[in-house]
Structure 1
Amino acid sequence: MTFEALQPKVIEITTNTTITRDEKLLKICQLLEQNIVYYTWVGFYFANHETKTLHLGPYVGAETDHTVIPFGKGICGQVAVSNENFVVPDVAAQDNYIACSFTVKSEIVVPLFVNGQNIGQIDIDSNVLDPFTKEDELFLEFVNKEIAKLY
């Protein structure tokens, strides 16, 4: 399914008044993982600015031990500090990478802003080398803008 075709489905989930915010986040994870062939793991991390840590939220994919990540550590931790998208074409080439699974080859992390503050991020792993394009970034920015309306 194309990113363009997925956009109204994202809006349909975020505007559903019969489910909780966490249920909406999980449904978005499921939607993306099921419809974008190279999205292997899709999840959210949320920031605790007092402790400077990220905490795992809803996700789909392989179980992870990385439920709390310090700011600055790994790709997600770096995005918590930089406030910028981070696309990793080959995780093996990254020094500051936290391995979740030996099958993961690439990663994209896009920050989630609410009222100008980075409150978390969407994190996507792929078992394919270098699959992420500018279109992925733009689509995930759209997803996060829709999610931001929930806060």
Structure 2
Amino acid sequence: MNLQDLKPKIKSIVTQDDCTIDQRLLKICETLEANISYYNWVGFYFKNGDKDELKLGPYVGAPTDHTIIPFGKGICGQVAISNQNFVVPDVTAQDNYIACSITVKAEIVIPIFINGENIGQIDIDSNTPDPFTEADERFLEFVCKEVASLLK
């Protein structure tokens, strides 16, 4: 499915007032994973209170031991500090990569901002080498803006 075609689905999920926030976040993960063939693990990490760490939120994909990630550690921890998108075409080329599965070849992490503050991120692992394009970045920025509107 075309990334643009998913935008109305994401908007629809965000506005489902009969679901909890976590249920809506999980539905977003499920929608992305089901409709984009190279999105093999899709999840959210959020700042854990006042601690300099991220806590795993709703996700779909293989179970992970990485439920808490210190700021600066791994791709997600780096995004928590840099406030920048991070696209990793080849995870084996990254020194500060936290391996979740030997099948993961690439990763993309996009921060979520509320009032200019980085409050979390969407993290996507792919079992396909170098699958992420600028279109993925723009689409996931859209998803993160929708998630931010849900969390405000």
TM-score (ref. length: structure 2):
0.98
Alpha-carbon RMSD: 0.6
- CA distance in 1 between counterparts of 2:48 and 2:9 reads 29
Q: Which residue of 2 aligns with 1:51?
A: 51
Q: Which residue of 2 aligns with 1:11?
A: 11
Residue type of the alignment partner of 1:83? N
Percent identity between matched residues is 68
1:42-84 CA-partner distances (Å, limit 9, x unpaired)? 0000013621000000000000000000000000000000000
- CA distance in 1 between counterparts of 2:150 and 2:14 reads 7
Q: Which residue of 2 aligns with 1:124?
A: 124
Q: Which residue of 2 aligns with 1:79?
A: 79
- CA distance in 1 between counterparts of 2:60 and 2:52 reads 24
Q: Which residue of 2 aligns with 1:20?
A: 20
1:91-138 CA-partner distances (Å, limit 9, x unpaired)? 000000000000000000000001110000000000000000000000
Q: 5 Å matches for 1:98-113?
A: 98-113=98-113
- CA distance in 2 between counterparts of 1:94 and 1:17 reads 40
User: Alignment partner of 2:150: what SS?
Assistant: coil
Gaps (5+ residues) in structure 2?
A: none
Q: Which residue of 2 aligns with 1:63?
A: 63
Residue type of the alignment partner of 2:6? L
- Number of aligned residue pairs: 151
